[in-house]
Amino acid sequence: MPKTDNLTAEEAVAHKFYSAFQNMEAETMASCYDSEAHFTDPVFPQLRGNEIGDMWRMLVSQAKNFSLEFKNIRTENGIVRVDWEAKYTFSQTNRLVHNIIQAEMTIKDGKIFLHRDRFDLWRWFRQAMGLKGLFVGWLPFAQKALRETAARNLRLFRIEMKKNSKKKG
């Protein structure tokens, strides 16, 4: 875990987010975002507002053998950048994934307003899907299918969350 000495207020928000992620604290992660935040990565290209926190809740609730390391929190031209790596077992294939990600965050009033994660989706496909990923993971139709599956899974997760909150309330 990076040292917190000499972090700017914006960098401290990123540190709080990734520390919570290391500890699988989805509620803390979600609380780091502005209510009108925007998130994009190669799998979830256009999440907004509460969708972002729900994506993290879904990913944390389904994580198997998960670990995360983050480093190099820095600000460049007003954008907080973080290098992070996640290791986990992909549940659909039980294959180990080691994803290397570069994050860019714009912090507004102490909250994440814009968050972009960049990683090599073909590399991810090769690890998560094995030979199938090697041969088709670079193709636009395969990447589109992955995005559609992820979006559907998030929609179903959000529906289930609403059902569960109504049962409790």
In the block, tokens 């088709």 appear at 136
- Counted domains in the chain: 1
CATH number for the domain harbouring residue 104: 3.10.450.50
Q: Would you say residue 23 lies in a domain?
A: yes
Average pLDDT over residues 13-33: 98
- The pTM assigned to this predicted structure is 0.92
Q: Would you say residue 44 lies in a domain?
A: yes
Q: Would you say residue 162 lies in a domain?
A: no
CB 74 within 8 A of CB 80: yes
Q: Would you say residue 72 lies in a domain?
A: yes
Q: What is the pLDDT of residue 165?
A: 78
- The tens digit of pLDDT for each residue in 41-89 reads 999 999 999 999 999 999 999 999 999 999 999 999 999 999 999 999 9
- The tens digit of pLDDT for each residue in 117-157 reads 999 999 999 999 999 999 999 999 999 999 999 999 999 99
Q: Would you say residue 137 lies in a domain?
A: no
Q: Would you say residue 135 lies in a domain?
A: no
Q: Longest C-alpha distance within the chain, in Å?
A: 48
Q: Percent of the chain, pLDDT > 70?
A: 96
- The tens digit of pLDDT for each residue in 81-95 reads 999 999 999 988 999
Q: Would you say residue 2 lies in a domain?
A: no
Query: Closest Cα to residue 84, out of 65, 98, 69?
Result: 69
End-to-end CA distance of the chain: 38
Q: Would you say residue 89 lies in a domain?
A: yes
Segments forming the whole domain that contains residue 108: 9-120
CA distance 152 to 146: 10
